[in-house]
Chain A
């Protein structure tokens, strides 16, 4: 097996952190090489170095045995290295064909775009590798799985022999993931090499030939996939035996805290995103809503928190009915919200920690006396919370933008809990957080549940849903398609519902009535 790409002693330092610390790896031709690690372990940095977006501080990169200094994406592409980023690099208003050929456009005389040729070439590629795609569709209108295929064709179009896939399954349904794996196998059989970056251990074990584990910027392990299991990989990733389960005290369920009846809501594009959702959330329980991104969860959260008007349906909080867009009213009635994008909607980054801790409560006493603010009280409150939640750095005057993601999330969690809510809606509360911070947030949510609060948890991480929830619901296509008691359902079954499987349908993988070979 020849090494198609080799890294020797790669080091990369950023102002605050040593992202890559003497990393040496060797990838063979026609293999699926996986790189796993937690957030911040250095995976994406390493890939960006291979793709020329960053320059290593020291070390060598060898492509097909020859040492190269990869100066930028153009150079990487010329060397046959293609990258499909975690966050797609597509222009939403352009068509698929336009996106694929961008930068390498086929032209007629004088620089005039030859879109017909572009479309034909895209169609050719998609046929060659079995990737279903419509060259004329606008990227903003196609599904996430299809967008990923566009990205792959983009790379192949530029002659990629080595394909780097950065967290490709983060936004895919299990079915789409399976389709992606088939594509990868097809690519390998056509002589390509695939580097697969992920933190999803099950998937990596399913598709990879060899797996390298990064931890804290170093390679902490390199195994053949057939010799490894999840526990081994997790230990190499985290350095200790990771506890995937929490011991929950039995649920003490009380009154109905939040009730939704027949909610219908449209998204920003005017399409129905929430189609007739009803549920009852009781005190002392956590309901976890699982689902792939884009099935209406965001809109549902917005409706429940009052940020979006529903078309139809009612919301009852502690028995009271709430009409449209009543953010303030809902907050006053006891609803707290941990938003999914902490920097955009959860915090005012230029404000300091103290100011962020009272965001939403600024009009209440003791923080305000009539129109004037009581800064002393705000400060005292902040000091209290900083100590209680161990927010670092321990300072009330530090701007929120200087805090790490984990500490920013602590500020939000501290604040929302401090409002002493009856209902808490947590939307992907541990997104982008490391293991320590994630554990912290989970424990806080469990503590709130134990003290009688009602928690509605939206998450894309099935493990999180399964380990925290008393009841689990699955959202697909704007509806709740399944409901289970916690601990009485398997990951696989939830996964099936997440992609829209309904009872009495054939299970994917088994012969389907209309399937063609």
Chain B
């Protein structure tokens, strides 16, 4: 039996997206230079803007966490063979659902946030399901139906709900940027763990969360990395957890002040968890196997007895739910309401994340980190002396995706060294 080899071809497949990113950056440089400004300086400003201070980093993290969700949404749908261009609309639906439950329902925190998550996942899932159902039952191409749904969501939410029934009763004279829905209750807000210090009960919850995460990491790490099994495995996991928790407890209970202005919140942890969950879903479960089979060859999947229609519908629902969660993060983590001017574009950016990340959960994670940094830093690029408009990030992004569509050209070029070797 041949052992699995990591061939040059595998390396090339990994490198193509990286090359595309590089080329996209170069295009950006060229455009900046053409505009008469110093490209290296501009990029330096970009990274300064992203990493310069803790609050800058937190802005990048905020963007990354939303991008992860919309990216996973598009990537998951692609795996079953569908283009989810509707991530934007699902994102909006999720956001407004969060704003709704966040303000019109009162619950204690440990119930409020889960309810918001659940409700938003269902509404945005259904939104995506419409396109999925149209595809499965009527053969409607999902690119067009999802785009139509995006616009419907945009009009119904931002031109009706948010300015009509759900609008905040603002005092006269308030500006547009204050329009939108009313603020959500504090119990619905996602915890900003750097700037806000929780009370005693909160600290206990944090410790429990830390303990659980450490336990899982320890368990799986020991299982994968060592030969310890059974009762011994549990024993060592628990010991590790106890030790780490005890140490953490010391710090947690001593924690007094937070750093103001750092908007980073626990949404990022949910996003990373989503990456792991989707990875497991796709590559370790039967459902994931079936999804991938359908995406690669839905005829063969049908012949194998896989219920193609049901799986497509389920996947679209999940995809919609993921984008919706992105919206939840925006509303409950960053804005604390659905503002009149909703930060849009995350849905479309999600498409780019999925393409650049090659539809793999970890690829999407990396792409989202990169573009979170770019978008986070592009605000800084606007300041003098560079004064480059922040839509520059769009150009870089679009260029990268453009190069991705030329995948085979780049792959061909990268494979040339191997070909010459064969001659």
Contacts and interface: CB of A to CB of B under 8 A. Distances in A.
Interface in B285-302: 285-290, 292-293, 296-297, 299-302
Contacts of B286: 362-363, 368, 371-373
A348 B297 contact: yes
Interface stretch (B62-70, B121-129, B303-311): B303-311
Interface string A116-157: 000000000000000000000000000000000000000000
A426 B285 CA distance: 30
B284 interface: yes
A331 interface: yes
A359 B300 contact: yes
A394 B3 CA distance: 9
Contacts of B304: 359-360
B297 to A, nearest CB: 5
A347 B301 CA distance: 8
Given A345-B299, A351-B292, A372 B305 contact: no
Nearest to A339: B303
Interface residues of B, number: 22
A346 B307 CA distance: 16
Given A351-B292, A359-B293, A371 B303 contact: no
Interface in A365-401: 368, 371-373, 375, 383, 386-387, 393-398
A373 B289 contact: yes
A396 B1 contact: yes
Contacts of B307: 328
B2 interface: yes
A344 interface: yes
Given A359-B293, A363-B286, A347 B300 contact: yes
Contacts of A372: 284-286
A372 B285 CA distance: 4
A344 B297 CA distance: 7
Given A359-B293, A362-B290, A371-B286, A395 B300 contact: no
A368 B290 CA distance: 12
Interface in B190-229: none
A346 B303 contact: yes
For chain A, the bracket of interface size reads 20 to 34
Contact of B305 (A360, A375, A395): A360
A337 interface: yes
Per DSSP, chain B at the interface is helix
A346 B305 CA distance: 12
A62 to B, nearest CB: 31
A307 interface: yes
B4 interface: yes
B99 to A, nearest CB: 33
Contact of A327 (B2, B287, B292, B302): B302
A225 interface: no
A373 B285 contact: yes
Contacts of A371: 285-287
A161 interface: no
A371 B282 CA distance: 12
A305 interface: yes
Contacts of A348: 292-293, 296-297, 300-301
A345 B289 CA distance: 17
A305 B396 CA distance: 51
> 4 closest pairs, A vs B, by CB?
A360-B304, A395-B2, A328-B305, A327-B305
Given A327-B305, A359-B293, A372-B284, 11 more contacts: A327-B302, A328-B307, A331-B305, A348-B293, A350-B296, A360-B305, A362-B289, A373-B286, A373-B288, A386-B1, A394-B2
Interface of A: 305, 307, 327-328, 331, 337, 339, 344-351, 355, 359-360, 362-363, 368, 371-373, 375, 383, 386-387, 393-398
Interface of B: 1-2, 4, 284-290, 292-293, 296-297, 299-305, 307
